[in-house]
Structure 1
């Protein structure tokens, strides 16, 4: 006896217990000039070739994010499936360079967003977090160092790193250059570094969205919707993208090679759990391990009260007024 299509869809829909955490996801996937659709088997990327239409099925549950490049289209059912699996969609430019927008699932908790917003809105806490970020990058910082001093130390450290890697790979002179208007004239190291950093931004963007945080509320960077993404990505560049770019100084296609090698390193180093941990430790180190096994909300919403904290939603609180005296300022009385 065959199973009705509606029953198959119901059985195939993942439950909360089945869904993996974002930290368990394997990698990112860059897509270009394909149509992403949902069929009875799963999500597939369709592309027209000389042999006709070819399909490649995508492991949505194992992906942290899908980077949608130029020429990519996606159907609403496919987007819904990505959302159910907790896979973020990030719209990017050609080759993964530049990140334009991100789409996140609606069923995310706001716990980490609220912690981020409170920390960002308080200048003292924001300074502490910015200091923590700079310290994370170069291991230690002088006691009482100001943000300006830490910023200067960071600049010196980056220059020293460039010099060491240039000498290691036999590059006589290197200068960081990012000019979209003259993209093709740049040297392989700059091309590889720009491509790798853009993919890194996509990965971090997906992690930030998966935790329910705001990409715009940065602690070191500001003035852009990607400020917090840049903050977190900077924690990993010297470990990953910068050495990778210098190793591709002789590549004939540094952008493609950077994306491929970064994807391999991403899986080998199990970077996603490190990113998730770093985001939590940066925002609230005392509760970095809180949150259970899922970043999804356990309930739809709750009500805020300045004295009582979180209250259940979907409850009629009209009876609370029965024990209070009438307020003459109210235009109505219960």
Structure 2
């Protein structure tokens, strides 16, 4: 059996055979992700051209045989399109998605980054307004922060518990989790150590924890952008443009990135490995529906069905009034002062 031999390219350079990993990374992906509710879903696309034809918006993918394959997108049923690396979109296609109320988010491979988002002009600001009102009111902000800790602890917290106490409980729980995972993987006592100025000098577990957190931030940011919330208005974190992103990502670290990081304690390249493992099978993207529901519950826990809240009817722009709240826009209010 003959083995593949390196090929010599220009100037005698050696070109090694393409590995399985590279082959998979070079393969286009068009994946419908789990739905938040009927008619409200996420679509991830990479290594494709999204364009508008006479019959609709489609993703154009080059096949291994040198041809092209067109897959038409269900634009009316899409809440959010996630464009990964190697993707381009035409002006006409983007305009059609905007008319159908679809948010378009530019992300890294497997969600390791969120670079920006384009939202439809007629998208309601309901969730942004809920977030801003809760953030600006100290009591309401505390309530949201407590609900975040309830999601982390998976238990109800007595109202009136100081945040200082909750931070202490969270710290103790994380130490216990680190200790348990270190024992499971037969590691010496572990200490979390994050130093951005000495990124490459971290031990494998700390390096994997840092890289995994960055990936989780990308997914959380994509959801926040889709809902129209501000990534800067955090409830536990404060002072950074991504404070709310950190708030949401912290809800899921104990179930996702932390166990994975400890499993890579003997990896020679934990930073790349953790990103690859998180990309596989859309491990983080599959949490998108749950993250959407959790954010909606955090901002409005009394809402009976958060899944239906995103499908509010389109409203015309309203006018703010300090006494009456919102009043109708697009009308002449001259008679009101006569």
Question: Structures share a fold, TM > 0.5?
Answer: yes
Equivalent in the alignment of 1:320: 336
Farther-moved stretch of structure 1 (298-307 vs 60-69): 60-69
Equivalent in the alignment of 2:51: 38
Kept in 1: contact 2:105–2:117 (CA 8 A)? yes
Equivalent in the alignment of 2:18: none
Q: CA separation in 1, counterparts of 2:45 and 2:215?
A: 9
Farther-moved stretch of structure 1 (257-266 vs 225-234): 257-266
Which of 158, 182, 185 is the aligned partner of 1:166?
182
Structure 1 segments unaligned to the other structure (5+ residues) = 1-19, 323-334
TM-score of the superposed pair, with normalisation by structure 2: 0.70
1:42 alignment partner, SS class = strand
Farther-moved stretch of structure 1 (76-85 vs 164-173): 76-85
Query: Structure 1's 282 and 95: CA in aligned 2 closer, same or farther, altered over 3 A?
Result: closer
Counterpart check, 1:274 vs 2:290: yes
Counterpart check, 1:224 vs 2:243: no
Kept in 2: contact 1:112–1:213 (CA 8 A)? yes
Farther-moved stretch of structure 1 (54-63 vs 242-251): 54-63
**What CA RMSD, in Å, does the superposition of the two structures yield over aligned residues?**
3.7
Residues 239-250 of structure 1: pairs in structure 2 closer than 5 A: 239-250=255-266
Counterpart check, 1:86 vs 2:102: yes
Equivalent in the alignment of 1:305: 321
Query: Structure 1's 50 and 274: CA in aligned 2 closer, same or farther, altered over 3 A?
Result: closer
Structure 1 residues 96-150: Cα deviation after superposition (integer angstroms, max 9, x where no partner): 5454433333222122221211111111211222122123212354664311221
Cα deviation, residue 23, structure 1: 5.0
How many residues align structurally?
295
Q: CA separation in 2, counterparts of 1:244 and 1:60?
A: 35
Structure 1 residues 144-199: Cα deviation after superposition (integer angstroms, max 9, x where no partner): 43112211221221121112112222333444344555555545444443443333
Query: Structure 1's 146 and 56: CA in aligned 2 closer, same or farther, altered over 3 A?
Result: farther
Farther-moved stretch of structure 1 (222-231 vs 191-200): 191-200
Equivalent in the alignment of 1:325: none
Query: Structure 1's 188 and 159: CA in aligned 2 closer, same or farther, altered over 3 A?
Result: same
Cα deviation, residue 39, structure 1: 4.1
TM-score of the superposed pair, with normalisation by structure 1: 0.71
Residues 88-127 of structure 1: pairs in structure 2 closer than 5 A: 88-91=104-107, 96-127=111-142
Cα deviation, residue 208, structure 1: 2.0
Equivalent in the alignment of 1:258: 277
Query: Structure 1's 81 and 129: CA in aligned 2 closer, same or farther, altered over 3 A?
Result: same
Which of 92, 101, 106 is the aligned partner of 1:77?
92
Counterpart check, 1:289 vs 2:305: yes
Counterpart check, 1:131 vs 2:146: yes
Farther-moved stretch of structure 1 (224-233 vs 97-106): 97-106
